[in-house]
């Protein structure tokens, strides 16, 4: 088997351990970062770092070299919460499109924030209506890439990211009168994020939209109360509500299409 060269745009909490994992499997990996301060650490881990900020024309000359000769491009950076978030995010991703060649496949790390609260399951084939600006921005990029890349694109929509130093007990600790305590949560552990990306690459699974989320969806108040208690913080309190808003992210397609078994299927067991 000829191991591929992969370019990963974004060397943050997910992108760096993903790159290290792929490198350990024999892939050649290029990693991008917006900070020159990170290059030494990336090199230390055996990665080839490139420094540029998408949307900054002064650095555009770096992008062709970063993408050149790679079989797979992984777009792995979220939109910043700034004014005109949708326009800025689309412009950033658009900056790489002129440099892609027709043989390259692209994996876009998206988010389940594209789904609306429908008080039911949400699946990949439904018509989505994002309710927040961040979701609108992510969905706008999904549409841009679909229109441009067609079957060379796979979109992987992750639920809320947890694991390692990202401790959910800190998210709502000490807060009061939080809404939707009886709503089910949607999260995914970083190990499973990397596992799903790995499965897509190994199986050459392109032209798909896939959700990534745990099997189980405990109630918000149960999960965040236990998570806070386990790290010694004051648990949040929740409003008593009859009408709640929620969605439950269905991960069935990820398991059937990729034959993937989640390493962390139950969020409560991660903090029990």
Q: What CATH number should be reported for the domain whose range is 78-162+187-215+247-264?
A: 3.40.50.720
Stated pTM of the model: 0.96
The CA distance from 61 to 58, in Å, is 8
pLDDT tens for residues 118-169? 999 999 999 999 999 999 999 999 999 999 999 999 999 999 999 999 999 9
Tell me the pLDDT tens digit for each residue of 77-118. Answer: 999 989 899 999 999 999 999 999 999 999 999 999 999 999
Please tell me the distance from the alpha carbon of residue 223 to that of residue 269, in angstroms, as a whole number. Answer: 10
């Amino acid at each position: 088997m000829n191991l591929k060269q992969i370019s990963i745009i974004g060397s943050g909490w997910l992108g760096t351990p993903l790159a290290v994992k792929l490198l350990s499997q024999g892939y050649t990996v290029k990693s991008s970062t917006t900070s020159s301060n990170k290059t030494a650490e990336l090199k230390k881990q055996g990665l080839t770092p490139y420094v540029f900020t998408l949307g900054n024309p002064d650095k555009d000359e770096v992008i062709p070299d970063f993408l050149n000769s790679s079989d797979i491009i992984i777009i792995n950076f979220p939109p910043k919460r700034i004014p005109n978030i949708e326009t800025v995010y689309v412009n950033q991703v658009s900056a790489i499109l002129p440099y892609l060649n027709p043989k390259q496949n692209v994996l876009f790390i998206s988010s389940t924030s594209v789904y609306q609260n429908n008080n039911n399951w949400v699946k990949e084939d439904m018509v989505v209506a994002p309710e927040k600006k961040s979701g609108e921005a992510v969905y706008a990029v999904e549409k841009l890439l679909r229109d441009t890349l067609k079957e060379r694109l796979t979109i992987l929509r992750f639920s809320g990211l947890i694991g390692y130093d990202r401790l959910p007990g800190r998210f709502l600790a000490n807060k009061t009168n939080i809404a939707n305590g009886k709503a089910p949560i949607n999260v995914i552990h970083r190990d499973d994020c990397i596992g799903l990306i790995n499965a897509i690459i190994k199986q050459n699974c392109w032209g798909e939209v896939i959700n990534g989320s745990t099997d189980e969806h405990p109630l918000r108040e149960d999960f965040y109360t236990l998570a806070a208690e386990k790290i010694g913080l004051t648990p949040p309190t929740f409003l008593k509500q009859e009408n709640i808003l929620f969605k439950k992210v269905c991960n069935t397609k990820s398991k059937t299409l990729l034959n993937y078994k989640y390493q962390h299927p139950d969020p409560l067991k991660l903090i029990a």
